[in-house]
Amino acid sequence: MQAAATAQIRLLELQSIDTAIAQLEHRKRSLPELAQIAQRQQLRRRQGEELIAANTAVGDLELEQAKAEADLVPVRDRLERDQRRVNDGTVTDPKQLNALLDEIQHLKRRINDLEDDELEVMERLEAATGVRDQLAADRVAGEGELRALFAARDSQFAELDAELARHRAERDGLTADLPSELVELYDRVRAKSGGTGAAALVQRRCSGCQLQANAADLTRYRSAAPDEVLRCEECNRILVRTAESGL
């Protein structure tokens, strides 16, 4: 391929722009906030699952407490009735009175047992409620941190996108002034060569692969016409001759 030496020199300018674009895109993909957001979102999902489980535990204990309270009601009512019968003297038969007193003692023991059970449920409910409330508070705090991370990410995205737009506009203007065939070759080489399509020959060394040209290659480079588009024998990149090439 042939292209004016001035056009080939401008490939180095194009390469500089493309390198800047690639660096900005890498910065955009590698913002610390992106990893922090991913971690925070994972934590939020886990907190959500834990909060659901905590709410379920609190609900179950509330039902258990309600049942414990309900179990006490008939026993207390029965004790009150029996105690009233004893106190008002309506039971005069000694045998019936002794049976009634025995039942009263049994009911009191039953009430003590039920109250102990209720107290144990209340303590468990209090602990479960504390866990649930702490999880809810942690999630609210996490949401605030996540919103702050989103804001920081978006702010940096806006700055990087503005820089990218400026470089891409600069690239479009430059490629419009270059031969389309040369730009197409450059883009093909750049796609296959890790983002570097053109490299300067500096002191007989390719600045793309950093390898020194051998004697035969140097002879070919010297004898090539100024408009001949050279390729590095080692990395196959477009090799641009400059005043610093050492030829």
Task: Say which residues have a Cβ less than 8 Å from residue 68's Cβ, sequence separation at least 6.
Answer: 114, 117, 118, 121
Residue 246's φ and ψ, nearest 5 degrees, are 80, 25
Comma-separated ranges of CATH 1.10.287.1700 domains in the chain? 31-177
pTM of this prediction? Answer: 0.75
Question: Selecting from 3.30.950.10, 3.30.420.40, 1.10.287.1700, 1.10.1500.10, what CATH number does the domain 31-177 have?
Answer: 1.10.287.1700
Give the CA angle between residues 51, 117, 68 to the nearest 5°: 75
pLDDT tens digits, one per residue of 42-88:
999 999 999 999 999 999 999 999 999 999 999 999 999 999 988 89
What tens digit of pLDDT does each residue of 119-164 get? Answer: 999 999 999 999 999 999 999 999 999 999 999 999 999 999 999 9
